């Protein structure tokens, strides 16, 4: 999920509700926790607006933007090797904990 968040925020998706629409199976509490971790580690910034209806926006930091090429390379590697990774998972279900995709 963290990579999804970074990639989506790189495409100017700023609000958690936008992420929720794009990744409908994501649990909101898990997503919020991961967003907090990304803020804590300096990959994204969080802006809170003092309005009647609470509003929060996130944006990538310079550090987060520098990480994107690596994330995209890993994503491409996963796509190119999905067949092999799925075969390994069928042989050994514990493989899922070694390679997450």
Q: What is the pLDDT of residues 3-62, one digit of tens each?
A: 555 555 566 657 888 878 877 788 888 888 989 999 999 999 998 988 898 889 888 899
User: For residue 101, what pLDDT is reported?
Assistant: 45
CATH number at residue 41: 1.10.10.10
User: For residue 41, what pLDDT is reported?
Assistant: 96
**How far, in Å, CA of 61 to CA of 42, rounded?**
7
**How far, in Å, CA of 32 to CA of 72, rounded?**
23
User: For residue 1, what pLDDT is reported?
Assistant: 44
Domain of 53 in residue numbering reads as 2-97
Task: Let me know how many helices (H) and strands (E) the chain has, helices first.
Answer: 5, 2
Is the confidence at residue 70, as pLDDT, over 80? Answer: yes
Number of domains the chain contains: 1
């Amino acid at each position: 999920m963290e990579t999804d968040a970074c990639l989506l925020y790189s495409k100017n998706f700023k609000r958690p509700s936008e992420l929720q629409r794009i990744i409908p199976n994501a649990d909101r509490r898990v997503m919020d926790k991961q967003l907090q971790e990304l803020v804590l580690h300096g990959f994204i910034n969080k802006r809170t607006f003092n309005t009647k209806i609470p509003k929060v926006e996130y944006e990538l930091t310079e550090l987060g933007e520098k990480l994107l090429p690596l994330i995209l390379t890993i994503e491409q590697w996963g796509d190119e090797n999905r067949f092999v990774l799925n075969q390994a998972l069928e042989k050994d279900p514990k493989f899922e904990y070694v390679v997450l995709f």
